Amino acid sequence: MYEMHTGDELPERLAGLDLNLLVTFDALLRERSVTRAASRIGITQSAMSHALRRLRTLLGDPVLVRGPGGMLPTPRAEALEVPVRRGLDCLGRALRTPAEFDPKRARRAFRLATPDLFDMVAMPRLMQVLAAAAPQIDIIAMPLPLSGLRARLETGDLDLAVAARVPGHPEADEGEEGLLQRVLLRDQFVCMLRKGHPALGGRAKGPRKRNASAKGLSLEGYAALSHVVVSPTGRGGSPIDVALSKRKLTRRVAARVPSFGTALALAAETDLVLTAPSALAAVRHGSSAFLTTCPLPLPLPRHAVRMVWHARFGEDPGHRWMRETMIAVARSIAASIE
């Protein structure tokens, strides 16, 4: 059975351990396949199978077992995954010769976890900057994970995350040990409706509703409209609903959709109203030409869009350059919405 050892015993414990087994363990947990893990680290499938047998003997655990969808890690392997990956990364960084980061020559991929709104607003500008200043830098963008963000930033599976925090929202003051953050920009909510919307004195698509004057939306008129809300999980309230409830008002959410792209299309083609950050109004999107923007008749504080990373990568030259680039892109967005 695997035993815990004190810090004084650790060097002796490691003296008898082939550290290459940790590399194979990490590859196996990443790939969940002996064949793919062997290809990942450049050894034969037979050598990987032999390494897996040695790992099983070392840990007294199967490590990977066959499941309906392929190989699955055991609970013991899952518990070791992050600590082993963290240790390998620290060792690799300690042994790597520090070098200046030259964006013109650097070949590197940065993995970003971002909401689709940020992708729509910032990604075109970011890629334009990279094309001119760092032509061999690649971006891999993915949705924000519902859980495990800290672990993925700590291990380097993600380089940066971007998330909005709205004052008064339950997640506004969340913070985790080891994570650093920087406010990229601050924005406010606006209403987006199709041009000619009946609430603004236009022509109705369906029965006409008396919700507002041509000058804009009243609070009661806003609450009486049917709304489209962006909700990746398909559930949950929002700061808008919290603020309305304080005024003893509610709104009908007729559609919950996972992305702002879909929400824009619905707002442009129906009488649904979309409440969104003002930066979205500046996006060159196919639906934008059919939309008009008006103030939200509900006083809400400006919300912050924050960039988050792990302190372990704070001094990495390439990582620092990427953060500075993101800040510069955010400044250009902020200038366009002020």
Place of tokens 């194979």: 24
Give the tens place of pLDDT for each residue, 156-183.
999 999 988 754 443 433 456 788 999 9
> Which of the 8 DSSP states describes residue 178?
T
pLDDT value for 203 = 53
Section 270-283 average pLDDT? 91
**pLDDT band of 310, cuts 50, 70, 90:** very high
Cα–Cα dist 24/208, whole Å: 66
| CATH code of the domain made up of 108-187+303-337 | 3.40.190.10
% the chain with pLDDT above 70: 85
Give the tens place of pLDDT for each residue, 78-132.
999 999 998 888 888 777 766 678 999 999 999 999 999 999 999 999 999 999 9
Section 318-334 average pLDDT? 95
**pLDDT band of 4, cuts 50, 70, 90:** very low
**pLDDT band of 265, cuts 50, 70, 90:** very high
pLDDT value for 7 = 41
**pLDDT band of 286, cuts 50, 70, 90:** low
SS in 3 state form for 48-107?
Answer: HHHHHHHHHHHHCCCCEEEECCEEEECHHHHHHHHHHHHHHHHHHHHHCCCCCCCCCCCC
pLDDT value for 96 = 72
Paired tokens of 106 = 């650097």
Buried b (16+ CB within 10 A) or exposed e, 217-234: bebebbbbbebbbbbeee
Section 60-81 average pLDDT? 89
pLDDT value for 15 = 64
Cα–Cα dist 61/54, whole Å: 10
Q: How many Cβ atoms from other residues are within 10 Å of residue 33's Cβ?
A: 17
Protein fold of 10-95: Arc Repressor Mutant, subunit A (1.10.10)
Beta strands in the chain (DSSP E): 64-67, 70-73, 108-113, 137-142, 160-165, 179-187, 189-194, 212-213, 216-217, 226-230, 252-257, 273-277, 291-295, 303-310
pLDDT value for 176 = 66
Domain residue extents for the chain: 10-95, 108-187+303-337, 189-295
- When mean pLDDT is compared across 158-162, 190-194, 201-205, the lowest value belongs to 201-205
Q: Which CATH class is domain 189-295?
A: alpha beta
Place of tokens 């919307």: 197
Cα–Cα dist 49/203, whole Å: 69
Say whether 108-187+303-337 and 10-95 share the same fold.
no
The model's pTM is 0.67
Give the tens place of pLDDT for each residue, 7-57.
444 445 566 678 889 999 999 999 999 999 999 999 999 999 999 999 999
pLDDT value for 5 = 39
